[in-house]
A and B are shown apart, each in its own frame.
Chain A
Amino acid sequence: MSTHASADVHHHEGHDPYLAHHFEDRAQQDEAHSLGLWVFLSTEIMFFGGLFLAFTVYHVLFPEAFGLASSRLSVSWGVINTIVLLVSSFTMAMGVHSAQVGSRKLLLTFLSITLLCAGAFMVIKGIEWTEKYHHHLIPGASFHFDLNDPTAPETQLANWGERREAILIADPHVERHAQMFYVMYFCLTGLHGIHVLIGMGLITWMILRAKRNEFNTRWNTPIELTGLYWHLVDVIWIYLFPLIYLIHRH
Chain B
Amino acid sequence: MSAIDAPNPYQAQSRSSAVEAAATFPNYLNATGGWKSWLFTGDHKRIAILYIITTTIAFLFGGLAAALVRLELLTPQGDLMSGDGYNKAFSAHGIIMVFMFLVPVVPAVLGNFLVPLMIGAKDLAFPKINLMSWYLYMIGTFFGLYAIIAGGVDTGWTFYTPFSTTTNTNVISAAVGVFIIGFSSIFTGFNFIVTVHKMRAPGLTWFRLPLFIWSMYATSLIMILGTPVIGITVLMVAVERLLHLGVFDPAFGGDPLLFQHLFWFYSHPAVYIMILPGFGIISEVIPAFARRNIFGYSFIAMSSLAIAMVGFFVWGHHLFVSGQSAYAGMVFSALSFVIGVPTAIKVFNWTATLYKGSISFETPMLFALFFIGLFLIGGLTGLFLAAMGLDIHLHDTYFVVAHFHYVMVGGMMLAYLAGIHYWWPKISGRMYPEFLGKLSALIVFVGFHITFFPQFVMGYMGMPRQYHEYVAEFQVYHVLSTAGASVLGVGFLMPVVYLTYSWFYGPRVNSNPFKATGLEWQTSSPPPTTNFVEIPVVTVGPYEYADFEENELVHAR
Contacts and interface: CB of A to CB of B under 8 A. Distances in A.
A50 B194 CA distance: 24
Interface in A189-229: 191
A37 to B, nearest CB: 10
19 contacts: A1-B538, A1-B542, A2-B522, A2-B537, A3-B10, A3-B14, A3-B15, A4-B14, A4-B533, A4-B534, A10-B535, A22-B127, A39-B194, A43-B190, A49-B229, A140-B243, A140-B244, A140-B245, A187-B236
A54 B257 CA distance: 11
Contact of A35 (B194, B233, B236, B536): B194
Contact of B548 (A1, A9, A176): A1
Given A36-B126, A177-B252, A2 B538 contact: yes
Given A2-B537, A3-B537, A39-B190, A46 B226 contact: yes
Nearest to B204: A2
A5 B18 CA distance: 10
B296 interface: no
Given A46-B225, A50-B229, A140-B245, A58 B255 contact: yes
A160 interface: no
B190 A40 contact: yes
A6 B551 CA distance: 21
Interface of A: 1-7, 9-10, 21-24, 28, 31-32, 35-36, 39-40, 42-44, 46-51, 53-54, 57-58, 61-62, 65, 139-140, 173, 176-177, 179-180, 183, 186-187, 191
Contact of B246 (A7, A9, A57, A179): A179
A183 B247 contact: yes
Given A4-B537, A39-B194, A176 B253 contact: yes
Contacts of A43: 186, 190, 224-225, 227-228
Interface in B230-256: 231-233, 236, 239, 243-247, 251-255
A5 B522 CA distance: 13
Chain A CB count within 10 A is highest, among B18, B127, B194, B541, for B194
Contacts of B539: 1-3
Contact of A179 (B202, B252, B541, B548): B252
A46 B229 contact: yes
Given A5-B202, A36-B190, A46-B226, A177 B253 contact: yes
Contact of B252 (A36, A51, A54, A176): A176
B193 interface: yes
A71 B219 CA distance: 44
Interface stretch (B56-64, B96-104, B116-124, B337-345): B116-124
Contacts of B10: 3
Nearest to B533: A4
Given A57-B255, A140-B244, 6 more contacts: A2-B519, A3-B14, A4-B535, A23-B199, A32-B198, A36-B126
Contacts of A50: 228-229, 231-233, 236, 262
B54 interface: no
A248 B261 CA distance: 27
Contacts of B198: 28, 31-32, 35
B121 A22 contact: yes
Contacts of B261: 53
Nearest to A171: B253
Chain B, interface size: which category? 35 or more
Contacts of B253: 58, 61-62, 65, 173, 176-177, 180
B532 interface: yes
B340 to A, nearest CB: 26
Nearest to A50: B232
Contacts of B255: 57-58, 61
B517 interface: yes
A247 to B, nearest CB: 17
Contacts of B15: 2-4
B229 A47 contact: yes
B62 to A, nearest CB: 27
Contacts of B124: 22
B197 interface: yes
B125 A2 contact: no
Across chains A and B, which 7 residue pairs bring their CB atoms closest together, nearest first? A50-B232, A47-B228, A22-B123, A4-B534, A22-B122, A3-B11, A46-B228
B476 interface: no
Contact of A54 (B195, B201, B225, B262): B262
A44 B123 contact: no
Contacts of A183: 245-247, 252
Contacts of B247: 54, 180, 183, 187
Given A3-B14, A47-B229, A187 B239 contact: yes
B534 A1 contact: no
Given A5-B537, A43-B225, A36 B262 contact: no
Contact of A2 (B203, B226, B244): B203
A42 B262 contact: no
Interface in B252-270: 252-255, 258, 261-262
A57 B14 CA distance: 62
Interface string B17-42: 01000000000000000000000000
A28 B119 CA distance: 15
Contacts of A32: 125-126, 194-195, 198-199
Contacts of B231: 47, 50
A7 B194 contact: no
Chain A CB count within 10 A is highest, among B123, B226, B253, B261, for B253
B544 interface: yes
A3 to B, nearest CB: 4
Contacts of A49: 228-229, 232
A7 B198 CA distance: 21
Nearest to B226: A46
A39 B11 contact: no
Chain A CB count within 10 A is highest, among B121, B246, B255, for B246
A4 B536 contact: yes
B394 interface: no
